[in-house]
A and B are shown apart, each in its own frame.
Chain A
Amino acid sequence: MFSRLVSAGLLAAAFSLPIGSAMAQPSGLPVDVPREQLFVSDQILRYNVVGNYNFWVQGPQNPTRHAMFLETLWVRDQETGELINDVASSPPQYNDDYTQMSVDLRDDIYWSDGVQFTADDLVYTVQTLMDSPELGANGWHTQLNQFVESVEKTGDHSVTFTLSEPNARFHSMFEARWNGVYMMPKHVFETVEDLATFTNNPPVVLGSYIPVQADPNGFWELYQRREDWERSPAGVQTGNAGPENILSIFYGDSTRKAIAMSRGELDVYFDADFEAFQTTLDTTSTARSWYQEFPWAYPNEVSSRQFVFNMEGDPIYANKDVRWALALALDIVELQTEYIGGVVKVTPLPVPPTTELMRLYHDPLEEWLVNLEIDLGEGEMYKPYDPTVPDRIAEWAAGQGYEVPGTPREVFGTGWWKFDPEAAEALLLKNGFTRDGSGQWLKPDGQPWVLSLQSPPDENDAFRMSNAAADMWSDFGIQVDLQGPERAVWDQNHIEGQFQVSTPWYSFALASGDAWPEIRGWHPEFYVPVGEDYRSKGGGNFQRINDPRIGEMLDAMQAVEPGSEENFELVREYLKYWTEEMYFITTISFKKFVTWDERYWTGFPTAESPDYMPLYWFQGGKYAFQSLRPAE
């Protein structure tokens, strides 16, 4: 009897322990902070370096963290295109020959320990980075040594850089799209003996938030707002207090993010696949993305998606007519609607049609696109551009019962290439391609055309785009071998040139409109043949394009001021050349289902109040956090 009682007791204890512990938990969140004082953001990766806030050495990950507490001179907002003064109080000022750059600094911001930020901090940061090869993060040590001859304090809040050679773009190192040179607190760092092993924990910060607690396993991190938040750059910029606490938490896949938001344990996630986003709308009535209704997603992150070709793989892809034929065999309206859900902007240029970049590039080039002609053979010239694409997508949207929140061009981007298999066929026949008895294409050497397309499935839109292309090119008579390798394998294939057609993201222009820093790596001086690492000379030419015309155009851009109309005109000429050559088949721009729940917090940037970009994991995401207010 006794042993039975003991067994029953043990059994009861075994069941009651987890249930009891579950009942004892205040919530499914890992921190004890009242929910109305806590904003919970999606941490885009699980940090594997924990408790180390020395972001000047290689290792500690910066997403979200740099928005919370790291500052640079300027931030370029990807939504507005505006240059926001971060710790600077003026734009960069160059002398006439671009050998000096001066900057004025804010005199109203302080480090979190109460020490005022001054020119000494900036000079110390630059000098320390130059002198310390062990501070190798982000390539700043190398680039500063390459560009800077000296840096001097010219006042308590003004600094002048003397450059080693004329350089009209030097300031871009301190202008954050993703990030810019992070300021160091001189009064802290100058006391450190070994900067390489210094963990900077707890950190003294210029930003509004201080990390106060972190999961040793890297799943989450808790930040507390500084009491003197109004003395931080984001506090000065927005004039708003923001949440008292912010928790960043890594939930992993889209499903778990949707579940977390439905449970009230996530206020914003950075992206999800289309299905998980729809589930969020169904299960969380207070959730929304950039647009309140269709097409929901944020469309203005500065990157575009494309099919790219290996010029030194199968020789057929080095033929521009073949690349054009593949473009004309794609139905962009079907791709954008049936495969992507109608939620991205279309672009034929390797520049996303954000408001600012559309003004600089797509609008001025529209007439050129409409009049562009290609040679189909036998003297037949053909105009491939179809400006009606956004209108046709709008018609599809209306058919689905959606209301389009703006003009079709504003919401769905620009025109694209006509879906014209007959024109595509003419281009291939012109180049010696033939069809076999079953209608499948044969290459000029008589072999069946098997197109190998590589696209890593972890990049949702790129993979869907590839599925669309695989279907359409198959219908056109090409055997398509669509492969979805792991990203690491895909990266390595790019590096060695082991691909025919692939789908990397890219943008030829920065949010400012300047292009040279983004495309300089395509200069023929950095060309490396297939079989060797394409970066072995430092360039970014994964397609192995060896085109002297590109070199000439890049040289011309380098010599002019990046914000000048002259530079923008040169970029337009470059885009025309690139498009005529069809080096990329650019299809759509980036979209993100940056989705937030207004149950506890409001004020996140939206299409109705687009004051800042909602991309909170970039360094410029600080303004989105700082703009938040408690829900009524």
Chain B
Amino acid sequence: MTLFKEYIFPRLIQWVIVIFIGVSLTFLIPRMSPINPIDQAMGRLTAFQTLSPEATLALRQSLMDLYGLDGSLFSQYVNFWGRVLRGDLGPSFSAFPTTVTEMIGSAIWWTIGLLGLSTVIAWTLGLVLGALAGYFPDRWWSKVLENTLVSIYPIPYYIVAFILLMLFTYYLPIFPLVGGSRGAPGFSWSYLSSLVYYGFLPALSLVIGATAFRFIMSKALAGTERTSDYVRFAEIAALPKRKIVFRYVIRNTMLPQVTDLALSLAAIFEGALITEVVFGYPGLGYLLLNAINASDYNMIMGITLLSIVGIATASLLIDLCYPLIDPRVRYR
């Protein structure tokens, strides 16, 4: 009961407040932008054709009605909360009449697939390689790994992505230029293998940088653990080195990295804008960029809402799990 009252309950309240403030800001910020969704829609509609002045005026009014932008800011805010609580995010302004929920629903699986997998792969690879390199700092492979990954890490992501794109789509044209898959979606080998084929390059670009980052962090932590008393005692006790690394060193370096992994996974809901643009890959990032450019309030709010709820919930879950992982929290 004390744990709930002193630890869990305050965190639940904090979670609700963070989401309320975040969602309210999400409502307000696009409306403070000088870009107006009606003007953007009018611009798209009249870019190619001439409308009579009378038709222009009528179109403008009909867009105000369709987009639900009539009325005061406060009434829009109240309507907005009503819709959010009903799970209705309204229509996308830039892809009318498609709803925001539909659009996010079709984009999110690509982002989860790409970022989720690449984050887990990079985290695991970086953690293991970093721990090995930290525990065996004088081995030749440890030095090669360290020099390679430390050299890669400072290279800006978009340069790595562009090099991969040019290398494997032009000079060695084995991977596709755009898209997420071939043909119609289904549980067939051809479709599933095409998912790997289309996702490989974008995933590789993400894994390279993220692995390097995780490797550096993990190596530093493992280097510290290596000099700990328990490692010395284990070595004196002649435990196999593999066992020392995998059973003790890695487990002790994991605590801060688990927090980081959870936050990284929650950040998936923001999408991977540069990756999606460079590789022409579907996902939330591209959707958000287009929404910002078109002042698509509903879409911006939908994606941001997802991101706020995702990160706030991940933080909450980490906080709630800490007593399980770290006995020091449990006994405080």
Q: Which of A142, A197, A260 contacts B177 (CB 8 A)?
A: A260
Contacts of A139 in B (CB 8 A): 45, 51-52, 55-56, 58-59
B178 and A250 contact, CB distance less than 8 A: yes
* A489 interface residue (CB < 8 Å to B): yes
Q: Does B224 contact A (CB under 8 A)?
A: no
Residue of B nearest to A487 (CB): B293
* B54 and A58 contacting across the interface, CB-CB below 8 Å: no
Q: Which one of A26-34, A327-335, A584-592 is at the B interface?
A: A26-34
A251 to B66, alpha carbons, bound, how many Å?
Answer: 32
Interface residue ranges of A443-479 to B (CB < 8 Å): none
Q: Which residues of A contact B106 (CB under 8 A)?
A: 216-217
Task: State how many angstroms separate the Cβ of B64 from the closest Cβ of chain A.
Answer: 12
Task: Please state if B51 and A18 are interface contacts (CB–CB under 8 Å).
Answer: no
Report whether B97 and A196 are in contact in the complex, using a CB–CB cutoff of 8 Å.
Answer: yes
Which residues of B sit under 8 angstroms from A259, Cβ to Cβ? 169-170, 173, 177
Residues of A within 8 A of B60 (CB): 535
Let me know if A529 is at the binding interface, CB within 8 A. Answer: no
The residues in B between 123 and 157 inclusive whose CB is less than 8 angstroms from any CB of A are none
> What sequence of 0s and 1s flags, for each residue 209-232 of chain B, a beta carbon within 8 Å of any chain A beta carbon?
000000000000000000000000
- Tell yes or no: A110 within 8 A of B by CB: no
- Shortest distance from the beta carbon of A167 to any chain B beta carbon, whole Å: 10
B295 / chain A contacts, CB cutoff of 8 Å:
488
For A219, what are the chain B residues with a Cβ–Cβ distance below 8 Å? 178-180, 280, 282
How many A residues, CB 8 Å from partner?
66
Stretch of A75-83, A91-99, A397-405, A516-524 lying at the B interface = A516-524
Once the chains bind, are A31 and B182 in contact (CB under 8 Å)? yes
Contact with B along A213-242 (1 / 0, CB 8 A): 101110110000000000000000000000
Report chain A residues within 8 Å CB of B173.
Answer: 28, 259, 263
Instruction: Give min CB distance, B289 to chain A, whole Å.
Output: 11
B197 touching A22, Cβ below 8 Å: yes
Q: Is A336 an interface residue when CB atoms closer than 8 A count as contact?
A: no
With an 8 A cutoff between CB atoms, is A486 at the interface? yes
Contact A30 B185 (CB under 8 A): no
CA distance A215 to B106 in the complex (A): 11
Q: Which stretch from B36-44, B261-269, B310-318, B324-332 is at the chain A interface? A: B36-44
Interface membership of B193, Cβ < 8 A: yes
Contact A517:B282 (CB < 8 A) given known A25-B197, A139-B55, A492-B39 = no
- Report chain A residues within 8 Å CB of B25: none
Q: Give A326 to B107 CA distance when docked, in angstroms.
A: 49
A31 to B45, CA, bound (A): 31
Which chain A residues numbered 11 to 69 have a C-beta less than 8 Å away from chain B? 17-18, 20-22, 24-25, 28, 30-32, 46, 48-49, 52, 57-59
Pick the most buried of B57, B194, B286: most chain A CB atoms within 10 A of its CB.
B57
State which of B48, B62, B194 has its C-beta within 8 Å of the C-beta of A178.
Answer: B48
A138: Cβ under 8 A from any B Cβ:
yes
| Contact present for A251 and B280 (CB under 8 Å) | yes
A-contact bits for B284-314, CB 8 A (1 contact / 0 none): 0010001001110000000000000000000
For A18, the chain B residues whose CB sits under 8 A away are 196-197, 200
* Bound CA span A252–B55, Å: 33
Q: How many contacts A-B (CB < 8 Å)?
A: 177
A364 within 8 Å of B (CB atoms): no
When distances are taken between beta carbons in the complex, the residues of chain A under 8 Å from B193 are 20-21, 24-25
Residue of B nearest to A216 (CB): B106
B138 CB, nearest partner CB in chain A, Å: 23
Interface residues of B in 95-121 (CB under 8 A from A): 95-98, 103, 106-107, 110
Measured CA separation A17–B204 after assembly (Å): 13
Contact B62 A133 (CB under 8 A): yes
Q: Which residues of B contact A31 (CB under 8 A)?
A: 182-183
With A48-B103, A59-B98, A142-B58 in contact, is A518–B34 under 8 Å at CB?
A: no
Tell yes or no: A503 within 8 A of B by CB: no
Confirm or deny: A526 has a beta carbon within 8 angstroms of a beta carbon on chain B. Answer: yes
Q: Are A488 and B35 in contact (CB under 8 A)?
A: yes
Q: Which of A142, A197, A492 contacts B36 (CB 8 A)?
A: A492
Q: When the two chains form their complex, are residues A28 and B176 in contact, meaning their CB atoms are under 8 A apart? A: yes
Q: Which chain B positions have C-beta within 8 A of A178?
A: 48-49
Contact of B53 among A215, A526, A533 (CB under 8 A): A526
Q: Is the CB of A252 within 8 A of B51?
A: no
Collect the chain A residues with CB atoms within 8 Å of residue B107's CB: 217
A320 beta carbon closer than 8 Å to chain B: no
Q: Indicate with 1 or 0, residue by residue over B25-39, a CB within 8 angstroms of chain A CB atoms.
A: 000000000111001
A142 to B277, CA, bound (A): 38
Cβ A142 vs Cβ B182 within 8 A: no
Q: How far is the CA of A142 from the CA of B193 in the complex (A)?
A: 50
For the complex formed, measure the closest distance between the CB of B241 and the CB atoms of chain A, giving whole angstroms.
Answer: 15
Say yes or no: is B1 at the interface (Cβ < 8 Å to chain A).
Answer: no
Q: Are the C-beta atoms of B39 and A517 separated by less than 8 Å?
A: no
- Find the residue from B54, B177, B182, B290 having the highest chain A CB count within 10 A: B177
A285 at the interface (CB under 8 A from B): no
Q: A136 and B39 in contact (CB under 8 A), knowing A58-B45, A219-B179?
A: no
Determine whether B50 belongs to the interface, using a CB cutoff of 8 Å to chain A: yes
Set of chain B residues within 8 Å of A217, measured between Cβ atoms: 106-107, 110, 179-180, 282
Given contacts A21-B193, A30-B182, contact A489 B34 (CB under 8 A): yes
B181 at interface (Cβ–Cβ under 8 A)? Answer: yes
Inside 8 A of B97's CB, which chain A residues have their CB? 49, 52, 57-59, 196-197
Q: Check if A537 is an interface residue, CB within 8 A of chain B.
A: yes
A491 at the interface (CB under 8 A from B): yes
Question: A49, A215, A262, A517: which contacts B50 (Cβ < 8 A)?
Answer: A517
Q: Is the CB of A136 within 8 A of B59?
A: yes
Query: B248: shortest Cβ distance to chain A, in Å?
Result: 18
The answer to whether B178 and A535 touch across the interface, beta carbons within 8 angstroms, is: no
Which of A138, A139, A213, A517 is the most central at the interface, judged by chain B CB atoms within 10 Å of its CB? Answer: A139
**Shortest Cβ distance from B60 into chain A, in angstroms?**
7
Q: Counting CB contacts under 8 A, is A539 at the interface?
A: yes
What is the 8 Å Cβ interface bit string for chain A, positions 506-546, against chain B (1 contact, 0 not)?
A: 00000000000110110000100000010101110000000
Q: A488 and B53: CB pair below 8 A?
A: no
Residues of B within 8 A of A58 (CB): 41, 45, 63, 66, 96-97
> Contacts A216-B106, A263-B173, A486-B293; is A538 near B179 (CB within 8 Å)?
no
Interfacial chain A residues near B174, Cβ < 8 Å: 22
Given that A25-B182, A28-B176, A49-B98 are contacting pairs, would A535 and B56 also be in contact in the complex, using a CB cutoff of 8 Å?
A: yes
Minimum CB–CB distance from B48 to chain A (whole Å) comes to 4
Given A139-B51, A256-B178, is A49 in contact with B43 using a C-beta cutoff of 8 Å?
no
Please name the 7 residue pairs, one residue from A and one from B, whose CB atoms are nearest each other, closest first: A538-B53, A139-B55, A217-B282, A178-B48, A48-B95, A142-B58, A21-B193
A-B contact pairs, 9 of them (CB 8 A): A18-B197, A21-B200, A24-B190, A49-B95, A143-B51, A143-B55, A215-B179, A259-B170, A492-B39
Contacts A30-B183, A52-B97, A520-B52 known; list 13 others, CB within 8 Å. A22-B174, A25-B176, A30-B179, A30-B182, A49-B95, A49-B96, A57-B97, A58-B63, A133-B62, A217-B107, A219-B180, A491-B43, A535-B56
Residues on A facing B (Cβ under 8 Å): 17-18, 20-22, 24-25, 28, 30-32, 46, 48-49, 52, 57-59, 133, 136-139, 141-143, 146, 177-179, 196-197, 213, 215-217, 219-220, 249-252, 256, 259-260, 262-263, 265, 486-489, 491-492, 495-496, 517-518, 520-521, 526, 533, 535, 537-539
